[in-house]
Amino acid sequence: MPVLTITQAEHVVAAALERANTSPENAARVARALVAAEADGLKGHGLSRVPTYAAQAKAGKVDGRATPTATRPRPGVLAVDAAHGFAYPALAIVADELPEIARAQGVAAAAIRRSHHCGAAGHPVEALAQAGLVALLFANTPAAIAPWGGSVPVFGTNPIAFACPMPAGRAPIVVDLSLSKVARGNILAAKQKGEPIPEGWALDANGNPTTDAEAALKGTMLPLGDAKGTALALMVELLAAGITGANYAAEASSFLDAEGPPPGTGQLILALDPVALGGEASLMRVSALAAMIEGQDGARLPGMRRLALREKARAEGLTVADATMAAIEAV
Amino acid sequence: MPVLTITQAEHVVAAALERANTSPENAARVARALVAAEADGLKGHGLSRVPTYAAQAKAGKVDGRATPTATRPRPGVLAVDAAHGFAYPALAIVADELPEIARAQGVAAAAIRRSHHCGAAGHPVEALAQAGLVALLFANTPAAIAPWGGSVPVFGTNPIAFACPMPAGRAPIVVDLSLSKVARGNILAAKQKGEPIPEGWALDANGNPTTDAEAALKGTMLPLGDAKGTALALMVELLAAGITGANYAAEASSFLDAEGPPPGTGQLILALDPVALGGEASLMRVSALAAMIEGQDGARLPGMRRLALREKARAEGLTVADATMAAIEAV
């Protein structure tokens, strides 16, 4: 299996996307995001996406040449139109412009509409935390979860991400979770092995609990935390799409194939200046909470595994499966 | 059992608090909040709190005569010092001042420190939604949940609340959930009945799963959604306390007894102007999502049961248990 440096992997991915009707600037941004996810061990948001992204750009389902635009309808708000391009160029505007707004206003919101798969949801908030801000991201994704008691999917797996800076040069604390109990990939894997799935992962198309992987794939995913998880998914749907002008999960086409109109999903990113809220002592307080967690045997801060994998990838390069490499080169 | 109108119940509660060294203005605010929770069927945040609130005010653990103060360190931020009084007078400042800030800035944050039990977390966000804003509330509470893999509680049950206005005179959508899998009251009830608790509710003091209610009460609560729930509890701890200057869960004394120093917990409230973010169509879009949910057999929007109970309480009054009434009158 080929081993690529981060830079080599970015070049390979960007070249594939440029062959798929994507502008060099956009291709570079998408490549950086996918390779960063791959390096963090988040393979579902990494190099495996290149062939489907490229197919969507070729078909025009995602506009690889789109230039996102931003307006400031209020002093604290950045409204970003991703123009049915990839999400990453729109997220780059947020990374560039939101820190200054948040520092001036104390809190700022970026609302992205006509967007696409936002990838590893922890990365945009981590970037804001590296700029000294506490950040939240809410994204909606194509429909997968039914309302509690219902059977028709209305919510995506709708990730919530959060990041908070740490003092003394330590990496930010990053939380990144989707609201389904397990990732859909686990059900696909069970189906391929011909195995049943545990109760509590999914419902069949009639809204009944199922342990049959095939029936689960035709039905809906269950959220974490039962009815509470569905309520959180509704919250994210309203924050990421309802108030940003994006498509709801149930209106969005798939992120995974080249069929249909653009998904047009949304992301809402909030950034807070911790010094404005809690004074200069804020970051030392974050450090104090981290110490209470790290002082316990068996406990650790979230995101530590990702950071270790990232360091390893930087030092030793990325090992890319032959099939993945072939699919990227075949674009 | 006595049946009281809402107004009568507010008077009874306020009078009890005034007997417990609480100013008439603060007593009236606390009474309104507790009676509103009781009317919504949220008995854990309702009249059952009066005796413990009064005991804390008598002991000086909560300052019943405190006057909260607010500053504006940045255009989008309201920093509120609850001054170790009840939370409700501080939340009243937020309800009064945050809407104007959010409409002008597009987004606004209120950070409350030196605070206390915030009661029904859905109520402050519902009030902001009634003013046309989308609102989020994060509150920390005394330690109950250990970090994933650990055994010492570091996080509270840390509620998240969310509200979003609806068009056409409909009540706002309100989400209000705590991050423990079940409320601690369920474990107390099992202990009283001498029954085991289901697996997945709690850990014992050594961090091992337990079905023994007694051992669970000496241990920690499990979060909803396993490790993801613990990550959300960490997020709320940092938002509500880390960056507001409040005490962490592990530093906070109990909300339920008169022992020790003031709890000094925190709340962070965010308000967004949906029209600033998504244009005039925003509220109609909220309505569209509600229709996708309500159109399914068996599904409903969260909060509908609370609204029905509220209407019933307004029409027919509140039935108060004799023991509760006696405890309030004994203050």
| ipTM score | 0.97
* Greatest CA separation for chain A: 57
Mean pLDDT value of segment A161-183: 94
- Euclidean distance between CA atoms B194 and B176, whole angstroms: 30
Q: What is the structure's pLDDT at A173? A: 97
- Euclidean distance between CA atoms A35 and A41, whole angstroms: 10
CA distances from A130 to A122, A170, A175, A324 (A): 12, 10, 14, 31
Residue B279: is its pLDDT beyond 90?
no
Token pair recorded at residue B190: 């099992």
- Euclidean distance between CA atoms B227 and B173, whole angstroms: 28
* Residue of B71, B74, B230 for testing the chain A interface, max A β-carbons within 10 Å: B74
* Chain A CA closest to residue B237: A289
H or E stretch covering A71 = strand A69-74
- Euclidean distance between CA atoms A227 and B184, whole angstroms: 18
pLDDT by residue (tens digit) across B249-272?
Answer: 999 999 999 999 999 999 999 999
* Chain A CA closest to residue B291: A154
Confidence of residue B323 (pLDDT cuts 50, 70, 90): very high
Residue A4: is its pLDDT beyond 90?
yes
Residue A219: is its pLDDT beyond 90?
yes
Token pair recorded at residue A8: 């080599």
B299:A150 CB<8 A:
yes
The amino acid that residue A223 corresponds to is P
CA distances from A183 to A148, A158, A186, A224, A321 (A): 19, 11, 6, 11, 21
Q: What is the structure's pLDDT at B185? A: 83
Mean pLDDT value of segment A48-60: 97
Confidence of residue B168 (pLDDT cuts 50, 70, 90): confident
* Chain B CA closest to residue A288: B242
pLDDT by residue (tens digit) across A274-303?
Answer: 999 988 888 899 999 999 999 999 999 999
* Residue of A243, A283, A287, A294 for testing the chain B interface, max B β-carbons within 10 Å: A243
Residues of A in contact with B107 (CB under 8 A): 74, 76-77, 105, 107-109, 270
Residues of B in contact with A270 (CB under 8 A): 107, 270
Residue contacts between A and B (CB atoms, under 8 Å): 254
- Euclidean distance between CA atoms B154 and B140, whole angstroms: 11
B243:A75 CB<8 A:
no
Residues of A in contact with B267 (CB under 8 A): none
Confidence of residue B183 (pLDDT cuts 50, 70, 90): confident
* Residue of A277, A294, A297, A301 for testing the chain B interface, max B β-carbons within 10 Å: A277
- Can you list the positions of beta strands (E) in B16-76? 69-74
pLDDT by residue (tens digit) across B18-30?
Answer: 999 999 999 999 9
Q: Edge-to-edge strands of the sheet including A77-81?
A: A69-74, A77-81, A107-115, A265-272, A134-139, A160-164, A173-177
* Chain A CA closest to residue B175: A231
B149:A242 CB<8 A:
no
- Euclidean distance between CA atoms B320 and B322, whole angstroms: 6
All residues at 6 or more sequence positions from B185 whose CB lies less than 8 Å from its CB, including other chains: B44
B272:A134 CB<8 A:
no
Phi, psi of A10 (to 5 degrees): -60, -40
The amino acid that residue B109 corresponds to is A
Mean pLDDT computed over every residue of chain B = 96
Residues of A in contact with B244 (CB under 8 A): 277-278
Q: Please give the full DSSP string across A75-111, using - where no structure is assigned.
A: TTEEEEE-TTS-HHHHHHHHHHHHHHHHHHHSEEEEE
| Minimal Cβ distance to B109: which of A107, A150, A279 | A107
Residue A109: is its pLDDT beyond 90?
yes
- Euclidean distance between CA atoms A24 and B194, whole angstroms: 68
Token pair recorded at residue B97: 């001042």
Q: Give me the residue label for tokens 């790290």.
A: A294
Residues of B in contact with A228 (CB under 8 A): 177, 224
